[in-house]
Structure 1
């Protein structure tokens, strides 16, 4: 069950000095149409400073991304306890528990905010974490269990509103969002979408979800072989531009979103001092 979209819940935190900036308002809920832009993205290593009013997104592994801001905030999505040999501590770690590769029972104790995407006896996960420069919120979804069962609210789609952008991570999504959940997501400029074709949703369902979201940038994740990725890309090629990269990071800003929705294929690389 989805709680009211704008309900505030427990994790409203004091920002660190690096994060104590005003957040540029996003159009996540306000707009239904794409924001036109120009050719975008710049090549950037994960350890470089982030440009003002921009966000760097680095594909680390599986469904783990690191999102970094100009003010120094960092988020690790579907955090499983390992980002690489570099001693890098994010400000926020989001987790989902459909599989152990998407969460850890022992997150690094230095991480200030660990957000579990699944519910408990008190109800669904309900996060509204305001860090000044970034707002992190979630939309719960269900997951499958063995023998045909369902765990209600076992996954969360996490949304990160920062630099005027709305960035969504679908997590270990097991079903197409319903109308209420789509409305709660709002307009996603960037979406990380699992394209494994079976462990989450099938390829046709994910193609339908991505088509409906119509995000300016789609980042495929959770692909274990080229086969499912190529299936996904082939089905979307008429509707989205395809941009294949050899690197793991991109930097994007609201002013530079592509005029045509684009699927950007990044290569997963764990964080190290050699990037």
Structure 2
């Protein structure tokens, strides 16, 4: 039976993947890499192997990958040198005799026209994995539906939605459903150098989000597609760091340019059911 190491296990996506894997594998066949020492006992209580370390700690990675044949690399955050961290995982896996690697990438239409350049690192990581000679499975995940409350803000029912995304659409899906689908693939399928693109069965604009929130709340929510400069000036008084504001603008630019509207049946097929719709997802996320 597979011996799998899940990196990034304390993050929201990692936890979902892990929960589903533990329904399919005994704990002794699952290992996790965690950064926070306080989380060690929590994971040990589940009967799994726990290793303390991070993507920059090569000796810790080598220890965690001993006797492991499969690694799930959950993409690193952008606080450090993400590409080097990913290379550390991939290089250590190859050196340690790991046979299979899976990676959580992003569903973007065209890497050559991205506004959000950090997204290019996902494609560079894919390239590096393919060049490594390891058997791979790549999961290209759509933008989480879970981020919509962050995008539109807590006061959306009073102010409406102001985003520089134009008429662009996103095939938003719930993070927990993508994590579940990933675990299903890891548990049931061989690593045959495949790429899965996990999206919802429909793509949604911010007009659709406004309409759904209006219907759910009984309060009129309107989407105002503003230009970038107007959006930036409206956000700066909130105190948002300039670097974060630029990321939000880049996300919206890619949405406007159609980078996020690809639709496939991969998520439905690997879940074994239809993904949660926008309206049903927003009902849960906004507690309506």
TM-score w.r.t. structure 1 length?
Answer: 0.35
Bigger Cα Rg: 2
Normalized per residue, the structure richer in strand is 1
